[in-house]
Each structure stands twice: as structure tokens, then as C-alpha cells.
Amino acid sequence: MPASDDAKGRGTPTQWLVIDVQIDEGQLRDHVVMELFDAGATAVEELPEGVRTAFPDTGDGRRKRDEALEVLGQLLGDSGGIAGPVAEPVAERIVPHEVWEESWRHGLGPRQVSERILVRPTWSDPVPLSEGVHELVLDPGVAFGTAEHATTRGALRLLDALCRPGQKLLDLGSGSAILSIAAALLGARTVVAVDFDPFATGAALENIARNGVGEVVTVKEAMLTPSGVVALGPVDGIMANIQSGILTELLPGIAEALRPGGWVILSGILRIEASRMQARAEQAGLSLEAEDGEDEWWSAVFRKSMEPSSR
């Protein structure tokens, strides 16, 4: 998708539908995070007193907000023995974009995420770079992907070890395009960044232009399906930092889209889901090669065999 004037501002709704969930640490909190992602949240902020997410105040955003509230009501109203009941755990509010933007920008600064990648927000001053380190300048807009979440950092660390010059890659659920841009800076020949959210693709296009990688990274606005992923192959590698339910559905298509010997980074997975995700990946013909864990989140590299599948 080429950049255009129409893309400008698409990542900026006028106001946000913010949901705060007061909940203690523990398994129930992990379930809340998973359910919010499954309901369509592109990011969930973890706070000392609970978690927070926001949906753009648009028709689609209101639909996702309603779905999230319904699921939260079911989960917190009857915890199923996971934890005790929580009194009035969910609060809603509408926040103007300017206020929301200022709140999530607070405290974000340059961060060297891996050996070769330093991520700097657009509002932060440049910092000296060590030899071999690439600076990725990012304005996430409303899209997921700031290097401030463990799943993004895990995917970036694994990508740093995998990405080689000349590779053809896919970034599924690309959000702000942070992984796509990192891959381009590390030498990838082509990267296709795929996301269904027009707010995310708007932010991605601006970030790609800002980092001067428009000749390498292209953006495709589309729903993710196994057949759609296959149609974008064959590729050398795939980055997929999305909720585990979608990853599970996409795994057969991911495996088919990879060239023999190709790799995939799976992220956005809770540690409690790791063994199940590994089993699903192996069923699709992929073998675990490397792991990265931070807090309650798990990321992993799986590789397709060089030999034709006998399944």
C-alpha cells in the first residue's frame, strides 16, 4: 500500500473508549489479558492495580468495546474457581485523543532492545549509537508496538538473531510496523506488513517513511486468514506478534507459506499457553528452535524442515 495523503491522520481518532480493570496478579489477570486481545484490543497496558485498554470511538471500536465488556462481565462475574470475586472491577470512560496520547507517552524514551536495535520515540532526542546499532524512530499512533511491551521486545530480540541480508519476510498483525522496520534495518530484502486495522496501517505507513525503508517494506490492509498468508508466500521468515487464538488458526497457513528451512517468530503468548502453542506448531510441521521469556510472556522461533513433509 503506497503512502498517500489519505493515510495521514488515519491513525488518530478524536477520542478513545478506555476500559480499566481492577484485578490482582495471578491466573485470572492473565485470563483477562487474553480475553481483551481476543475481543480485538491491539494493546493492553498492565498497571499495579490491574490492566487498561482502549478502543477508538468509531463504529468498529464501539463494537469491540461492547464485546470486551461482555466477556469481562462473564469472566469476572463468575471466576470459575480461578480467584475470588472482584467488586465492581470494570470502569469505562471516554478520553479525548490529546489526553490519551499524553498519558501513554509519559515515561517512554529510547530503549536498546537487542544487540543491533535501538528504538526511539519521535518525541525523544537522539542518543549516541554504538557501532552496528540501528536506530528505529517510532510513533506508534494508536497501533500496538512501542518496544514497551514484553511481547514486542521478545520478538525483536529473536529477530535480531535471525534476520539476514536478502531475506523475504512477512509481518502478520504488524501494528506500528516496528518488526517490519527492524527487519529492513537489519538487511531484509522485502517485508510485507499485514494488518486489518486502518488506524494501524496509517501509523505504519508514517513510521516506514520516517525510517526510510519504504523501498523494502510494503503495507497490506487485510484480515489474516491461513489461505491469505499462503498467498503471500513463499517467504524466508515470518513475524507474528498477535494473540494466541489467532496464531493457532494461522499456523497451517504460516507453515505452508514458509520455504523449506524457513523460520517463524511467534509472540503474544502467555507462558501458561506455551506448551499448547508448541504442540500446535509441531502439528503444523514446525520445530522449536529458540525461546525468549519476559514476565508472563513467551516468544519462540519455530523452523520448517528442509525436507519435504511426510505428514
Q: What is the pLDDT of residues 68-116, one digit of tens each?
A: 888 888 877 644 333 444 446 788 888 876 666 666 565 566 788 899 9
Say if 227 falls within a structural domain. yes
pLDDT in tens, 39-65: 777 677 777 778 888 888 888 888 888
The last residue of one of the domains, among 84, 104, 124, is 104
Same domain, 136 and 97: no
Q: What is the pLDDT of residue 105?
A: 60
Please check whether residues 86 and 133 belong to one and the same domain: no
> Are 180 and 39 part of one and the same domain?
no
Whether 240 and 94 share a structural domain: no
Domains contained in the chain, number: 2
- Burial tier of 306 (Cβ tally within 10 Å: 0-12, 13-18, 19+): exposed
Strand order through the sheet with 217-221: 217-221, 190-195, 168-172, 235-241, 258-270, 297-304, 286-294
Question: Does residue 309 fall inside a structural domain?
Answer: no
Domain span holding position 14:
5-104
Q: Are residues 142 and 233 in the same domain?
A: yes
Confidence of residue 2 (pLDDT cuts 50, 70, 90): very low
Domain check: are 159 and 42 in the same one?
no
List the CATH number of the domain containing 13: 3.30.70
Cα separation of 48 and 219, whole Å? 36
pTM: 0.75
Q: What is the CATH number of the domain that holds 238?
A: 3.40.50.150
Question: Using one digit for the tens of pLDDT, what is the confidence trace for 270-279?
Answer: 888 999 999 9
Report the pLDDT value the prediction gives residue 283, as an integer from 0 to 100.
Answer: 96
Confidence bin at 138 (pLDDT 50/70/90):
confident
Per-residue pLDDT of 269-304, as tens digits, reads: 888 899 999 999 999 999 999 999 887 889 999 999
Query: Is 310 part of any domain?
Result: no
Q: Are residues 92 and 117 in the same domain?
A: no
Residues 32 and 128 reside in one and the same domain:
no
**Do 89 and 162 have their domain in common?**
no
Residue 311 lies in a domain: no
Are 91 and 176 members of one domain?
no
Shared domain check, 219 and 180: yes
Residue 278 lies in a domain: yes
What's the pLDDT score for residue 218? 97
Say yes or no: 172 and 297 in one domain.
yes
What does the alpha-carbon distance between residue 263 and residue 65 come to, in Å, rounded to a whole number? 35
